[in-house]
Amino acid sequence: MTDSTPSPEQSEEIPTPAVKKELPVVAIVGRPNVGKSALFNKLSKRRLAIVHDQPGVTRDRLATESRVTESRALLIDTGGIGANLDDGFAEQVRAETDIAIQTADLILFILDGQEGVHPIDRNLAQDLRKAGCPVQVVVNKIDEDMHEKNTSEFSSLGFDDAIHVSAAHGRGFDKLIQCIDRLLIEHGLEVPRDAKLEDDAELPAGPIKLAIIGKPNVGKSSLINALLDDQRAIVSEVAGTTRDAFDVPFQFNELDYILIDTAGLRPRSKRDTSVEVFSAMRTESSIRRADICALVIDAAQGVTAQDRKIAKLILDAGKPCFIVLNKFDLYHPGADYSDRMEELSEHVARELFFLHYAPHVAVSAKEREHLPRIFHTIDKIRGAAKLKVGTGELNRILKKAMTKTPPPLIGKRKRLKLLYATMTKPERPTSIPAPIFVLFINSESLLSDSYKRYLENNLRGQKNYIGLPLNFIFRSRAKKADL
């Protein structure tokens, strides 16, 4: 399948996207390993951030809405400031936190109640006093009463009314939640929990959750940054830079998205740390919760065995998807665009034959070329998801196919029979629902995989379900007369 979006000669510009700012932003900052991610998870009631005792695990900004405060608020977790990381990311992590400080309406300054004041805490306190927004000191790891005696020294940082909590045990969290609500009200930032924002009403099913999936170093984070026009995800030549799967609210052509950037999936045999193993689990979870997946492949390198394994994860999850051929500027540069696209699409279609329904989009995140095609493709897939097949039409299509090529005889002169077919709705609402068809047959044991593909191909021949897997549910009504 080739890229059916506008030709490269057409003028295409990607407008600067607007990250949602209707909700007040609460940034969680602090040096490494003070418990920021644990606090973030507890306030959001979701295990979005990786919690690990290895300093510097969180390197990117994570964002999600608070689920425990009376006021609606957007929580941002940040990479640890001043991390003495062994892979050269300390400067970029600091930049990440600086951006969070600049965009925050309220800052939670997290400190370690058991270790006491650290020189990095003092340096950070100087910066936070210039932030221009309220700063609430939160002394974490007060797991027992005995830890309280060490907290008086934190007053030397120049902030009043520190709150003592234990993210691990939940101590002090009611007071912290009340404090956040109070500060938001005092500064005119309160958004009541039952308030409906304009964007909430536009798409009843919520923003489109777009997961960016791929192996390490194919340019996933560069693609996110190019789309957002923002250095939100850390970009490096070191494979495995992104460890968290983080959500970024984003808007394009008046449609709301949640971009889910994920850790690159390496083969299981090469996952050498517990953090990387957990990151891989989180990536697989991101595929399951996404509305649509973008499988990013290095066009210059071509499809690899690991690309095929990741594509299989998307297939098994039954998710709408498309394939982003990144680094297209490096694929036979100077040659004719159409010839390059045709040759590359043939290669991808051959190597990922089981994702034959997924359209291909060739882009260059580094050069910011053809980026709007990603969203044109999503629009086409969204349109295809609205196609409904009436019960009568569905039965005519399938029975005509079965008459043209009857099912094979299996066993002692037994053949598959279709009794009835209908289209049904997904159990859970989603922005881009994949079609689900229920087929009542005489016995599922008479249905071979090849004949199932034959029926699917015939249905696709009648309906253009681009980018969508066709999910079949077979229900046997085994009776002797039918067999």
CATH number at residue 426: 3.30.300.20
* Predicted pLDDT of residue 458: 94
For residue 473, give every residue at least 6 positions away whose Cβ sits within 8 Å of its Cβ, in sequence order, or none: 424, 436, 437, 438, 439
Closest among 39, 91, 85, 86 to 66, alpha carbons compared: 39
Closest among 302, 304, 284, 305 to 293, alpha carbons compared: 284
Residues 347 and 318 in one domain: yes
Residues 123 and 208 in one domain: no
Domain stop point among 367, 385, 403: 385
pTM, full prediction: 0.59
Residues 319 and 348 in one domain: yes
Residues 70 and 32 in one domain: yes
Phi, psi of 393 (to 5 degrees): -65, -40
Q: How many domains are contained in the chain?
A: 3
State the CATH number of the domain containing residue 99. Answer: 3.40.50.300
Residues 143 and 230 in one domain: no
Rounded CA-CA distance 454/406 in Å is 11
Residue 398 belongs to domain spanning: 391-476
* Predicted pLDDT of residue 67: 84
* Predicted pLDDT of residue 483: 44
Residues 238 and 99 in one domain: no
Rounded CA-CA distance 355/23 in Å is 39
Burial of 206 from C-beta contacts in 10 A (0-12 / 13-18 / 19+):
middle
Residues 412 and 296 in one domain: no
Q: Which amino acid is at 409?
A: L
Residues 264 and 334 in one domain: yes
Whether 9 maps to a domain, the answer reads no
Three-state secondary structure call for residue 382: helix
Per-block mean pLDDT, blocks of 10 residues, the chain (483 long): 44 42 79 85 68 40 77 77 48 57 84 88 84 90 79 84 89 92 90 61 64 86 82 42 58 84 58 49 78 94 90 91 95 88 94 95 92 94 92 90 91 83 82 92 88 94 94 74 44
* Predicted pLDDT of residue 59: 39
Residues 149 and 67 in one domain: yes
Phi, psi of 155 (to 5 degrees): -65, -20
Whether 76 maps to a domain, the answer reads yes
